[in-house]
Amino acid sequence: MSLMITSECINCDVCEPVCPNKAITQGVEIYEINPNLCTECVGHFDEPQCVAICPVDCIPNDPAHVETNEMLLEKYQKLTALSASNSSASNSSLLNSVSPVEKVAEE
């Protein structure tokens, strides 16, 4: 299952930076979890980091987004592959933007 943040959230800001998938963002009133990005930290950690660090225990499973561990692992693999390809494309475009003089200096 994906996770969700309930209205008990106190906006303490500790969950957002620990999410390895950047699934947690500040919503209008409280933090929110994007279920398309949440893997419950499967592939990264043994337990969801946001749940472990939350001081008010307001991050339960989201019953609207039921997923097995296998599904979460598959999502993790897709997200990391996408991240790697975006990183490669970014590095490639950065390399192509370097002037010939800078390229010679690098060699």
Q: What is the pLDDT of residue 59?
A: 98
Q: Residue ranges per domain, the chain? A: 16-106
End-to-end CA distance of the chain: 49
Under 8 Å between Cβ of 19 and 50: yes
Tokens of 97: 């933007």
CATH class label, 16-106: alpha beta
pTM reported for the whole predicted model: 0.77
2, HSE (Cβ side, Cα atoms, 13 Å): 16
Residue 65 identity: H
> Which one-letter DSSP state was computed for residue 73?
H
pLDDT in tens, the chain (107 residues): 799 999 999 999 999 999 999 999 999 999 999 999 999 999 999 999 999 999 999 999 999 999 999 999 999 999 999 888 776 655 444 344 444 444 444 44
Listed residue (13, 48, 41, 47) closest to 27, CA to CA: 13
